[in-house]
Structure 1
Amino acid sequence: MKHKWTFFPVVFLGILILFLYLSERAEEKKKEEDLRARKVFSFNQGKIDRITIKSDKGAISLSKGKDELWNLVEPVNAKADFEVVSGIIYKLDEIYFTKSFNVSPKEFSIYGLSPRKTEVTVSEGEKNFSFILGVETPTANFVYIKKGNENRVLLVESGLVRIISRDVFELRDKTVIKFDRREISKLELIYPDKSFAVFRGDSQNWQMDKPIKAKAGIEEVNEIFDLLLALRVQKFEEGKKLNNKYYGFDKPILKVLLGYNNEKSETLIFGKNEEGVFVQLETGNEVYAISGELLNKMPKGSFDLRNKKIAPLIRDEIKSIVLSSKDKTIEIEKDVKDKWIVSSPLKAKGNAVEIETLIIAILNTTFLEFIDNPPKSLSSIGLEPPEIEVILNGRDKKHLIKIKIGILDKNRYLCYAVNDLENQIGMIDYTFVRDYLNLNLEKFKIRN
């Protein structure tokens, strides 16, 4: 009897849970059906291939090409901003009415639907649908619209107005130049009085060819690519006297040449007049007004393009470190369990925090200037023999880099340094040497 009395409450609880679950699902289904019923348009976003917006400002027509990219065909022939057009289509697909009612054609004017101020037609292949945009409600939270030839007026969120009311400039693609940086093999910056050229040695290395031969920095080159790809049109120059002299293209303030792996090239010409800064593709006819900010950020000297990292390595590839001075040597390495240990002058567990901090400091240290004409005797600047030497090795003791630290220039608190990757002598901040290369053994080991 006791088990029977226990069984019935459990069954009842199970039935109750099932009932609540089914009720909740039924409620959700009802909401979904209600939402579908209030959806204004039903279409496949990816199949929309034409949009026409007619208003008292004129007509704007957009057409999707075979390459799946959008173009303006009216009032100008130009590339359209793919993200902006995609946003319009997405918004149209997400329109839901909060209220609907039938009115006679004579009453259309009350809702701003007659005469037609804004009419939108969307094509999905052979299938077309359209709507008229009316006035906003007094609260400006909603707007009246009417589909095609229907007499039914719908009330939808007013965000639709902001999406549809974009002007031609907003719809145009404002990208000045597009390219795949992986396809670039040469970059040249040509100023009126100087020029700089770098070329790609391989996927990870750029070399400077002009005005000196030296290793260029990957980060420095990529920063130029970033600036060019982010360059946007502030104004399309149209209806003016488009000539080189007017925009300063006859005496450009900068020319940027991009050489591709297929031996083709593109050149951007930057000019300036009293109205501002302008750019034009050498092979194109369009002129764009742009912000002068890019010109301020572009390299002005060879130092800006050079690799300035004293140890251009990846942190995880470092498996052993040798720190030496004229009277002391400390060797640190990772054991078979990938744990840091001190292996010389004694054996001890390594202080992982201090060792990783040292590695990060080395990788973040940069040359603050280069010395292209060093003294014949490197001993005069403390590099032969060095005051301090840092050797970084990879797995299986594979040599990665050797860094030599020279004497301190007390007036500038900089010291001489060189690595064996490029044998380029330069000056680094002595604070790095003072704080991290003092060869304090106790700092790198864990006391028992």
Structure 2
Amino acid sequence: MTNYRTTILLAIIFAGLGVYLYTIEVPTIEQETIEQLEVQRLLPFDYRDVTEFHLTTRTESIRLTRDDRRRWSIVEPVQAKGDSREVENILRALEIGKISRVLQEQEQDLSQYGLDSPNATIQLTAGDQSETLHLGGVAPLTSTLYGQRQSDKQILLTTLSVSDFRRKTLFTFRYKDVMFFDRNQVERIQLQTGSQEIALHRIASIHGLTGNWRFSTPFEGPADKTSVGLLLMTLEDLSAVDFIDAQTEKEALLKQFPEPMLTATLHTGQRSHLVAFFQPSNNAKNAYAVTSADQPIYQISPAVLQGLPKRAFDLQDKRLFGMEMAEIGLLTVTTPSKTYTVVQQHGEWFLDGAPDQPINQQEIKLFVSRVVDLPAEFSVSFEEEGLQDYELSTPAITIVGIDTKGRQRGNLALGKSEGGLVYAMGSGLPGVYQARSIILTQFPSL
């Protein structure tokens, strides 16, 4: 009986201890931990509540404000769109940053901490709360920053990394994208390069816009979707390396510009996006983009200009033949030594007039694919004139494609060879071009 009483008594004691720990000791420890963490925090509020950010360095004073959609705008020293990522990066660093140690309860000798003339002062406003933080020199052993809060004047050793605050300038906080559009939503493109006007439109299907493009000016025909895609990607990713804001500077710079190298207008739904590219004739190291009179002139990398189209040929589908392989019913090949026709049936090829004669299917398919995909390398003339100079008036080699409905849709004529290239004409492109002459060595042995 005594053993039972002892067991019951011990159970009551343990239960009482459990209640004490759960209701008193653990909450007290948790509260002390929270209070300790709060003491270690640099900011008295959540960084996500900050609506005004003011950075003062030894050379600049930059102030930004945030709207209800969490978009940051620069309001001093210029009015411009802000780079929200850069502002948020600094605010997160301040949120994560802690106080390692309080070095002085009250300000005394600030010079030994670099706080007599701070490297940076950050003023933050969040609703009706605000805080100012001065950042001084770098601690010798930790590579973290000394700081001082305006609210309590204490000299602090922080965990803030110097790399998060080094070399932050007005340019850092400016939004650097030149154009604001989604390349997948572009329906039409208008280009003016030199004296040539180019217009393209995206081909639509029952499921919406496709990745294929066609020319409507200066001719009608297919465009190379890869080249058009690269152009749109270049424009969408166009980034400024500097800004010219002052109206007097803009006017002076515009006077130095010749005619634009390229003017591009992109149409997305009901909106249009325009950009013109310039390079001063007296300075090939600088390049500029202009979007509108009320926006800055953007200085850009000169390398961007090298990738811009200079004529319609740069965006054309450069395949000369004019048919896809699957569309061909008959292919007639004429060379100086013979003429023959091959027929395609269910993906297999047969010699016309001798269907039982064996044909190396791999060889003929490779040859047809090379004919179909043969690209023009250089444009010689958009007009089919003076063909005798290129030996194309009566070409020695012709390849003609007939589709399954009996229509002649594909054609390739090869003329004179020189310098590893052969003069060529085809149904796919109007005019005279040069293609790689290796095609002349790839005819099948039929």
TM-score under structure 2 length normalisation: 0.66
Matched-pair contact (CA < 8 Å) for 1:310–1:366: yes
* 1:57 partnered with 2:73: no
Q: Which has the larger radius of gyration?
A: 2
Question: Which one is further off, 291-300 or 354-363?
Answer: 354-363
| Structure 2 partner of 1:189 | 192
Q: Alpha-carbon deviations, 1:285-319, whole Å to 9, x = none?
A: 633444443344433333223321347999xx969
TM-aligned CA distance change 1:430 to 1:149, over 3 Å: same
2:232 is aligned to 225
Q: Give the direction of change, closer, same or farther, for the CA distance of 1:87–1:254 in structure 2 (3 Å limit).
A: same
C-alpha separation in 2, matches of 1:152 and 1:357: 77
Does the CA-based 8 Å contact 1:120-1:132 persist in structure 2?
Answer: yes
Q: Distance in 2 between matches of 1:329 and 1:154?
A: 84
Report if aligned partners of 2:396, 2:415 keep a CA contact under 8 Å in 1.
no
The residue aligned with 2:156 is 153
Equivalent in 276, 293, 317 of residue 283 of structure 1: 293
1:47 is displaced (CA, Å) by: 4.6
Determine the C-alpha separation between the residues in 2 that align with 1:159 and 1:400.
72
Q: Give the root-mean-square deviation of aligned CA atoms.
A: 4.7
Query: In the TM superposition, what is the alpha-carbon distance from 1:207 to its structure 2 partner?
Result: 1.0
Is contact 2:228-2:315 (8 Å) kept?
A: yes
Assess if the C-alpha contact under 8 Å between 1:247 and 1:271 holds in 2.
Answer: no
Q: 1:152 to 1:313 in 2, by over 3 A?
A: farther
Provide structure 1 residue ranges, at least 5 long, that are not aligned to the other structure.
1-32, 335-340, 442-448
In the aligned structure 2, how far is the partner of 1:43 from the partner of 1:309? 63
> 1:143-166 deviations in whole A, cap 9, x for unaligned?
223455353623325344x43640
Whole-angstrom CA distance in 2 between matches of 1:59 and 1:403: 66
SS at match of 2:340: coil
Shift in alpha-carbon separation, 1:119–1:350, aligned structure 2, 3 A: farther
Counterpart contact for 2:107–2:155, Cα < 8 Å: no
Instruction: Give 1:300's match in structure 2, choosing from 292, 310, 314.
Output: 310
Q: What is the aligned partner in structure 2 of residue 439 from structure 1?
A: 444
From 247, 255, 267, the equivalent of 2:254 is 247
Of 301-310 and 398-407, more deviation after overlay is shown by 398-407
8 Å CA contact 2:321, 2:412 repeated in 1: no
Taking the TM superposition and a 5 Å limit, the aligned residue runs for 1:352-371 are: 365-370=374-379, 371=381
Q: Distance in 2 between matches of 1:185 and 1:174?
A: 25
Shift in CA distance, 231/58, structure 1 to aligned 2, threshold 3 Å = same
Tell me, what secondary structure is at the counterpart of 1:60? strand
Contact 1:247 1:272 in 2 (8 A): no
Change (3 A) 1:279 1:327: closer
Q: Specify the SS of the correspondent of 2:73.
A: strand
Residues of 1 paired with 2:293 and 2:167: CA distance?
A: 34
Q: Pick the aligned partner of 2:171 from 169, 176, 188.
A: 169
Shift of 1:167: 0.8
**Shift in CA distance, 332/213, structure 1 to aligned 2, threshold 3 Å:** closer
Shift of residue 424, structure 1, vs aligned partner:
6.4
SS of residue matched to 1:241: helix
Instruction: Identify the residue that residue 80 of structure 2 maps to in structure 1.
Output: 78
1:118 to 2:139 alignment: no
Within a 5 Å distance, the mapping from 1:90-129 to structure 2 comes to 90-95=92-97, 99-107=100-108, 109=110, 110-114=112-116, 116-129=118-131
**What secondary structure, in the 3-state scheme, does the structure 2 residue paired with 1:327 have?**
strand
1:207 aligns with 2:210: no
| Structure 2 counterpart SS, 1:410 | strand
Superposition TM-score, scaled by structure 1 size: 0.66
Q: Which runs of 5+ in 2 are unaligned?
A: 1-32, 204-208, 334-338
The count of aligned residue pairs is 386
Q: How far apart in 1 are the matches of 2:47 and 2:408?
A: 55
- Counterpart of 1:224 in 2: which secondary structure? helix
Identity between Structure 1 and Structure 2 (%):
14
- 286-295 vs 166-175, greater mean Cα deviation: 286-295
Structure 1 residue 398 displacement after superposition: 10
Cα distance in 2, alignment partners of residues 312 and 79 from structure 1? 48
Aligned counterpart, 1:418 = 426
Please report how far the alpha carbon of residue 357 of structure 1 lies from its aligned counterpart in structure 2 after TM superposition.
Answer: 7.0
Instruction: Supply the distance in 2 between the matched residues of 1:365 and 1:88 (Cα, whole angstroms).
Output: 54
Distance across 2 between alignment mates of 1:273 and 1:377: 38
Tell me, in whole angstroms, the C-alpha distance in 2 between the residues paired with 1:68 and 1:383. 69
The CA distance in 2 between the partners of 1:414 and 1:329, in whole Å, is 24
CA distance in 2, matches of 1:381, 1:349: 30
